[in-house]
Chains A and B, each alone.
Chain A
Amino acid sequence: MTKISLYDNKIWKFLCSLKLTIVLASAATLLAIGGSVLIPFNPQVFGSLDSMPLGVWLRQVATRQPGLTWWIPVGGMLVILLAVNTLCCFIDWLRFIKSRWRKGGEYLIHIGFVLILVAFLWGSQAGIRSEQNGLLVGQSIPLPQLGVRLTLEAFEPVLAPGGRPIEMLNTLALYRGEELVKRVQTRSNAPLIWQGLVVIPTSYGQTPRGGRYIPYSILTINYDPGAKLAFAGAVAMGCGVLLTLISFYRKRTRGDRPDIV
């Protein structure tokens, strides 16, 4: 009886095919070019895309305007298929790694792309985004999804001469019960990051207390369970690019240019 290999059939070859890559990448690009033109002209529909996870937006906003938003789920499906195609190519490369190891850089870029896409889908479904959370010094917000509470321990807004806030110095702490989990002084580009949670001071306000106005911090609190995976994908992709560049110049030095199939 002949043993049928999982990889030795038309379906696997189709899934790994370069032509499928080109078709999917072209279709996704063309669709997104057409669809994205709608973004600036329909802020009431697309303006909230960054303030909630994509999965929530698709359920709450996109379903009310299917005529304007259909290209996002369809484009997403094309990119997911492209990632499946990319993953199959990566697996196929692994099968012959002994003879194809020099292509390692290119395939690190491939797997990096797949990891980033999986992380994005994960964050889109299980992530949380919350803006405009006002906190006075000493106040806390419970974060039940993570089993911790966020406390603002100190706050100092830095203002430009015109009064515009340019920097928010916040001391933020995470507590699990009475136990301190993490304490950070945040500023621009240095948020509190912990286990997929990211807390960013965005602005400040003032509230009357005891006859005078006291400032409070306004925080963006996002949780993305896929953030670490996305970072791993980015590292893989970055290393892949560097290895590919080294390999490219080595090949050119040897006069080896294997670019014609």
Chain B
Amino acid sequence: MINLQPLLLYGAFAAYLSAILLYLFHLVLARNWVRRSAFVLIMGGYLLQTFCLSLRWIEAGYLPVTNLFATQLFFSWALATTYIYFELRYRIHAAGLFVMLCNLLLLGSALPRDPTIPPLIPALDTPLFTFHVAFSFVGYAFFAMAFSMGVLYLMQYRLQTTSLPDLALLRKLNEEAVFLGFCLFTLCMILGSIWAYVAWGYYFSWNIKGVWSALVWLFYAGMCHAKFIRRWQGTGYAVLSIVGFGVVLFTYLGIGLLMSSNHPLD
């Protein structure tokens, strides 16, 4: 397994990188075989990554997401899952390029790190931990997709190009990504609160991570309402998606790496 892991991860990285290059090629030449090949490569990379994650899970006996390498690997897998969901559902093709670029960056920056799985401390030995983290990262991945759709919406609004999906579809995808991300993040918050109660004796912590997670929830709860207000539809919603992902990134990486919190990454 130890020898197999780098092979699987570098294989997944190479597949994702090739897929992104093919999608860029497709943006210029618009060839169907290029697009199809890119998606086959993404599926290949995703299978390798899923296999690696499963092996690590089996070896550890728990979902290994307790340090920076492991969370990057899982977040990258969640981003790929989100991309595949939207590709299969809406055929977004190169429109999901940003999410795959994020995925590549996360996976690429994780590769040089130490992949050793730390022993599980008893405090983390609960299904609440597994589901809390899984819902959190899949929620984050949908917020990343919303960011991507927001950026593309603003580009399409200015460029009016046929290379990108039309504004109506981009808006629909953005709203769906925010909605699904919010639902999953709500489940993450509920399970995290129950876990906090049995582990610390209170269900809301004033630690900076707790406060910012509540802020992420409140921000996207507001977004789920903003789509019903005409002034915030379209461009305004796209801008909010971009701002929201900034809040998400700070909550995950900014607080995890730069500040002392009860959710340390390293």
With a cutoff of 8 Å between Cβ atoms, the chain B residues found around residue A33 in the complex are: 215, 247
Known: A18-B225, A40-B260, A187-B122. A29 touches B201 (CB 8 A): no
Q: Does A260 contact B (CB under 8 A)?
A: yes
Q: How many residues of B contact A (CB 8 A)?
A: 48
Q: How far is the CB of B173 from chain A (nearest CB, A)?
A: 12
With a cutoff of 8 Å between Cβ atoms, the chain A residues found around residue B125 in the complex are: 188-189
A-B interface pairs (CB < 8 A), number: 117
With a cutoff of 8 Å between Cβ atoms, the chain B residues found around residue A199 in the complex are: 201
Q: How far is the CB of B265 from chain A (nearest CB, A)?
A: 15
The distance in angstroms between the C-alpha atoms of A134 and B204, with both chains bound, is 25
Closest to B227 in A: A259
Q: Does B117 contact A (CB under 8 A)?
A: no
In the bound complex, do residue B212 and residue A36 qualify as a contact, i.e. CB atoms below 8 Å apart? yes
Interface of A is mostly: helix
Q: How far is the CB of B129 from chain A (nearest CB, A)?
A: 9
Which of B186, B211, B215 is within 8 Å of A241, CB to CB? B186
Q: Does B193 contact A (CB under 8 A)?
A: yes
Closest to B216 in A: A29
The distance in angstroms between the C-alpha atoms of A40 and B215, with both chains bound, is 16
The distance in angstroms between the C-alpha atoms of A5 and B252, with both chains bound, is 49
Q: Does A181 contact B (CB under 8 A)?
A: no
Which of A19, A193, A230 is within 8 Å of B203, CB to CB? A230
In the bound complex, do residue A248 and residue B222 qualify as a contact, i.e. CB atoms below 8 Å apart? no
In the bound complex, do residue A25 and residue B199 qualify as a contact, i.e. CB atoms below 8 Å apart? no
The distance in angstroms between the C-alpha atoms of A231 and B225, with both chains bound, is 25
The distance in angstroms between the C-alpha atoms of A25 and B259, with both chains bound, is 26
Q: Does B183 contact A (CB under 8 A)?
A: yes
Closest to A54 in B: B206
In the bound complex, do residue B202 and residue A50 qualify as a contact, i.e. CB atoms below 8 Å apart? yes
With a cutoff of 8 Å between Cβ atoms, the chain A residues found around residue B126 in the complex are: 188-189
Q: Does B208 contact A (CB under 8 A)?
A: yes
Which B residues from 198 to 257 make CB contacts under 8 A with A? 198-208, 211-212, 214-215, 218-219, 221-222, 225-230, 232-233, 247
With a cutoff of 8 Å between Cβ atoms, the chain B residues found around residue A227 in the complex are: 197, 203
**22 pairs, CB–CB < 8 Å, chain A vs chain B:** A18-B225, A18-B228, A21-B222, A26-B222, A29-B218, A29-B222, A32-B218, A36-B208, A39-B207, A39-B208, A40-B259, A188-B199, A190-B198, A191-B198, A193-B198, A227-B203, A231-B194, A238-B190, A241-B187, A248-B179, A260-B228, A260-B233
Q: Which residues of A contact B (CB under 8 A)?
A: 18-19, 21-22, 25-26, 28-29, 32-33, 36, 39-40, 46, 49-50, 109, 113, 120, 129, 158, 166-167, 187-191, 193, 198-200, 220-222, 224, 227, 230-231, 234, 237-238, 241, 244-245, 248, 257, 259-261
Q: Which residues of B contact A (CB under 8 A)?
A: 121-123, 125-126, 128, 172, 175, 179-180, 183, 186-187, 190, 193-195, 197-208, 211-212, 214-215, 218-219, 221-222, 225-230, 232-233, 247, 259-260
